[in-house]
């Protein structure tokens, strides 16, 4: 009976000390060689002026007014490149209701 009490007083699981350190490696998804590839893929690609103008005309066929930020997102070009091209083909509308870019009248087809 006494043995039964002693056995029940012992914890069923005991900590077992290790003589050596076990190395646990955490999984990593962003390796150094993957980061370099992503930088090359996601970098800005400079398109020709004609290609950018085609993208802009396609966008303006859908909507009449666009902000510069929206056009930058659509064409994926820098603001400086877009401003240079939009000086030729677009006007900035200063009306409070539509403070956005629109095509010049000679380029409109609507």
CATH number reported for the structural domain that contains residue 92 in this entry: 1.10.10.10
Specify if 40 maps to a domain.
no
Determine the Cα angle at 82 with ends 80 and 84, to 5°: 70
54-82, pLDDT tens digit by residue? 999 999 999 999 999 999 999 999 999 99
pLDDT of 13 strictly over 90: no
73 lies in some domain: yes
pLDDT score, position 109 = 77
Reported confidence tier of residue 14, pLDDT bands at 50, 70, 90: confident
Number of neighbours of residue 90 by Cβ within 10 angstroms: 21
- Per the domain annotation, does 25 fall within a domain? no
Q: Which residues pair with 5 in a beta bridge?
A: none
Domain span including residue 91: 49-107
38-50 pLDDT tens trace: 666 655 678 899 9
Does 17 have pLDDT greater than 60?
yes
Residue 18 belongs to a domain: no
Q: pTM of this prediction?
A: 0.59
Backbone angles phi, psi at 3, to 5 degrees: -65, -35
Number of structural domains found in the chain: 1
**Does residue 70 belong to any structural domain of this protein?**
yes
């Amino acid at each position: 009976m006494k043995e039964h009490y002693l056995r029940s007083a012992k914890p069923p699981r005991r900590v077992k000390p290790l003589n050596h350190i076990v190395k646990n490696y955490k999984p990593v998804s962003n390796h150094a060689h993957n980061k370099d590839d992503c930088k090359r893929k996601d970098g800005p690609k400079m398109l020709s002026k004609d290609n950018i103008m085609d993208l802009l005309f396609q966008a303006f066929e859908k909507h009449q007014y666009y902000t510069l930020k929206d056009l930058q997102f659509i064409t994926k070009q820098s603001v400086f490149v877009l401003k240079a091209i939009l000086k030729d083909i677009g006007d900035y509308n200063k009306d409070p209701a539509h403070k956005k870019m629109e095509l010049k009248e000679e380029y409109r087809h609507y």
